[in-house]
Amino acid sequence: MKQTIRTLLAKHGNLPVAIDSVGDGADLYDAGLSSFASVQVMLALEEEFDIEFPEQFLNRKSFSSVEAIEAALSEILKEQAA
């Protein structure tokens, strides 16, 4: 899942640095992710994983790092499977 997240961040995140140089726990906003780009990443994730982010995940914290995105996705997918 992390590789898919990283691929989508590379494609839609418009980061000024290579996503490979950003650690899983590093703050993506500090790395240059804008609010607009985070929405683009969210839409790409929704399409890739065939999900919709619930309102509780529509915040800066959910997209603050690769680990945060993975945690949000895992929870959404777990709830969807239940």
Return the CATH number at 17. 1.10.1200.10
Confidence at residue 81, expressed as pLDDT on a 0 to 100 scale: 85
- First-to-final CA distance of the chain: 19
C-alpha span between 82 and 18 (Å, rounded): 36
15: left (phi over 0), alpha (psi -120 to 50) or beta: beta
Structural domain boundaries enclosing 27: 2-81
Specify the amino acid at residue 78.
Answer: K
Give per-residue pLDDT as tens, 73-82: 999 999 988 8
Count of domains in the chain? 1
3-state secondary structure of 53: coil
Q: What is the CA radius of gyration of the chain?
A: 12
| pLDDT given at position 63 | 97
Structure confidence by residue, pLDDT tens digits, 9-67: 999 999 999 999 999 999 999 999 999 999 999 999 999 999 999 999 999 999 999 99
Q: What is the pTM of this model?
A: 0.95
